[in-house]
Copies of this chain bind each other. A is one copy, B any other.
């Protein structure tokens, strides 16, 4: 994960790679599911073979402890056997 500033707001960003578009989109949906469960929503960029996830806390316009927890959960989804 890198801390990337976007329009003055710090975000945690990481690129995850996949072997095709379908696998990338499946990961997007997994991330979307934990986002819904936690009521905390990232930006998810889905491309062929690649998903870029960005976590930040809208309310404070930056990073909160919860963003780091969600980033760790996102890693777990990526590393878990599918």
Contact = CB atoms under 8 A, between A and B. Distances in A.
A5 interface: no
Q: What is the copy number of this chain in the assembly?
A: 2
Chain A interface category by residue count:
10 to 19
Contacts of A41: 21, 47-48
B32 A21 contact: yes
Interface of A: 21-22, 25, 28-29, 32, 35-36, 41-48
Given A22-B32, A28-B28, 15 more contacts: A21-B32, A21-B35, A21-B41, A25-B32, A28-B46, A32-B46, A41-B48, A42-B47, A43-B45, A43-B46, A44-B46, A44-B47, A45-B45, A45-B46, A46-B46
